[in-house]
Amino acid sequence: DQQVKQNSPSLSVQEGRISILNCDYTNSMFDYFLWYKKYPAEGPTFLISISSIKDKNEDGRFTVFLNKSAKHLSLHIVPSQPGDSAVYFCAASPRRKGGGADGLTFGKGTHLIIQP
């Protein structure tokens, strides 16, 4: 059973427009969420994270929104640039007492393609 779901295997967006990537989770114990970006033949690169005590976190062109009641989060990229073309993974972790993330549960990823 997939505890983190990314239902769109791919997404095509025009350069300069907003890219919205979605992620749903089922495990109520998750309270720390991350987005990773992955280019071919490379390891995932951390992009942005959000703790369950917040509903929004922004870093430059990237904003993550968390809706705990719906168990849904989304990543907004605006404006989208050609270099944003990559596979984006949503990941989640329960936060244990004492801090620190445990092993992450990843979604299957969404391949974002930015069209010039």
Alpha-carbon gap, residue 109 to 63, rounded angstroms: 18
Q: Is 34 in the site for other proteins (CB under 8 A)?
A: yes
* 64, 73, 86, 91: residue in contact with other proteins (rule CB under 8 A): 91
Report the residue from 24, 106, 112, 114 that binds other proteins according to the rule CB under 8 A: 106
Per the CB < 8 A criterion, the answer to whether 21 and 63 are in contact is no
Residue 86 CB neighbour total at 10 angstroms: 21
Q: Which stretch binds other proteins (CB under 8 A): 10-18, 58-66, 67-75, 98-106?
A: 98-106
- Is beta strand 72-77 parallel, antiparallel or unpaired with respect to 19-25? antiparallel
Interface residues toward other proteins, by CB under 8 A: 4, 32, 34, 36, 41-46, 49, 51, 89, 91, 95, 98-109
